[in-house]
Amino acid sequence: MQAEAENGELTTDFLCVSTASLPADIPATVQLSGPDDTTLTVWLHPNDPLLPGLPWACDARKVGEALFLDSQLTGSLPEGVPVLATVSYRPLRRAVLTADLAGQRRYLKVLRAGQAAQLAARHQMLRAAAIPAPSLIDVPAPDVLAMHPAAGTPLAEQLMRDGAESLSPKTLVELLRRLPAEAMQLPERPAWSARVRDYAKGATAVLPGEATRISELAERVHSLVSSSPAGPKVPSHGDFYEGNLLVSGGNVSGLLDVDALGPGYLVDDLACFIGHLAVLPALDSRYQHVPAALNRFLAVFDDEVNPAALRGRAAGVALTLVAGAKHRATTADPTSWRADALKRLSIAETLANEALTLES
């Protein structure tokens, strides 16, 4: 909605409405009765009732004072206030923002009560083991994790440029093998492929005409995950793919999104990487070097884990990405996402078929 500010300018405010079950006495919220006696909780962004740090994270001046104060030099802020941008916002769950000022960038993750401390502990655990997780910045706000950007180039850029030919696949394996043993004491989260039946429902929702095809694929993947050897349980990243990796000089210089760090299987981390890598050409035709890169990574990963398990679980990962194709729809081009989704589905089927061939 639009409102008039004190200076007479029109500003845009956002009202959020949720059917989630929430207490009636949460400050800065209103509860209304919706259709079929559904209780609706309404709040004015950024006053998210389950993200107490979001108002602070959306206050540019407070963020600037906390994240850009250069005490080693002048002890003063760079001129101006940072420009804040919301990267993602999942109401009642989490938000990610960037803050830019004087050519510098900081990242903020706003989490539910208690979760920021848990994530900070994961960052500290990794950095103590010489794993390049981003360094953190102390902030005077509840459940907000602020961090410096990691060094290096996004791996996705190198994959687009030349298939990341300077990055040895063994470098990724070695990084995963160096994850600290303390991670085994953290809660375990199910791998992407272990939830393939749930993600198949999402794929069917966007491609209802392919419901039978999707269901059959999900059952093949479920069978492969159940029957092929996963190997020993080890420390696992949990969301290991090109979007969470930065590289420099043939080394991994940044490991991002460590929320799922905990016990898992090496094959699942490698399958996550392969599943995401395989669908990149469906996202953008400029990923022309990816097919060759995919074969290069598979050849090395096959020596580390069971090849059938790797492809079967990668198929599950690729299937989880089908529904996301619809998010790429635009007003100017509202339908091309469907071709993208069908390509992702076909890629998942190819990986599953390769796994079945190897298993037989």
Picking from 167, 154, 173, 144, the residue whose alpha carbon sits closest to that of residue 269 is: 173
Say what the pLDDT of residue 3 is: 60
CA distance 110 to 53: 6
State the DSSP string of 171-200: HHHHHHHTS-GGGGGSPP---GGGGHHHHH
3-state secondary structure at position 247: strand
Select from 329, 348, 151 the least CA-distant residue to 248.
Answer: 151
Q: What is the pLDDT of residue 28?
A: 85
Predicted local confidence at residue 248, as pLDDT: 97
Rounded-to-integer distance, Cα 264 and Cα 277, Å: 20
Per-residue pLDDT of the chain (360 residues; tens, 9 = 90+): 656 556 666 778 899 999 998 888 888 889 998 888 899 999 999 999 999 999 999 999 999 999 987 544 445 556 788 999 999 999 999 999 999 998 999 999 999 998 999 999 999 999 999 999 999 999 999 999 999 999 999 999 999 999 999 999 999 999 999 999 999 999 999 999 999 999 999 999 999 999 999 999 999 999 999 999 999 999 999 999 999 999 999 999 999 999 999 999 999 999 999 999 999 999 999 999 999 999 999 999 999 999 999 999 999 999 999 999 988 877 778 888 999 999 999 999 999 999 999 988
pLDDT number for residue 37: 85
How far, in Å, CA of 316 to CA of 272, rounded?
9
The CATH class of the 153-359 domain is alpha beta
CATH 3.30.200 matches 49-149: yes
Q: Are residues 228 and 194 in contact, defined by beta-carbon separation less than 8 angstroms?
A: no
So where are the chain's domains? 1-45, 49-149, 153-359
Question: What are residue 40's DSSP bridge partners?
Answer: 32
Cα–Cα dist 280/299, whole Å: 19
Per-residue model confidence (pLDDT) at position 82: 94
Q: What is the number of other CB atoms lying within 10 angstroms of the CB of residue 315?
A: 32
- Under DSSP, the state recorded for 334 is S
DSSP, collapsed to helix, strand or coil, labels residue 261 as coil
- CA distances, 341 to each of 205, 207, 251 (Å): 12, 8, 32
Tracing tokens 């802020």 back to the chain, one arrives at 77
Task: Tell me the residue type at 269.
Answer: D
CA 15 to chain centre: 26
- Please name the residue that has the structure tokens 């259709």: 35
The pLDDT score that the predictor gives to residue 213 is 98
- Residue 10 CA to chain centroid, in angstroms? 34
Host H or E run for residue 77: none
Tell me the pTM: 0.92
178 with 251: CB under 8 angstroms? no
Q: What share of the chain is helix, strand, coil (3-state, %, to 5)?
A: 45, 20, 35
CB 82 within 8 A of CB 64: yes
Burial of 331 (0-12, 13-18, 19+ CB in 10 A): exposed
Beta bridge pairs of residue 152: none
Instruction: Give tens-digit pLDDT for 193-236.
Output: 999 999 999 999 999 999 999 999 999 999 999 999 999 999 99
pLDDT digits (tens, 9 = 90+) for 17-33: 999 988 888 888 899 98
pLDDT of residue 331: 77
Q: What's the Cα-to-Cα distance from 93 to each of 32, 139, 174, 178, 301, rounded to whole Å? A: 21, 20, 33, 30, 35
The DSSP bridge pattern shows strands 83-90 and 39-44 to be unpaired
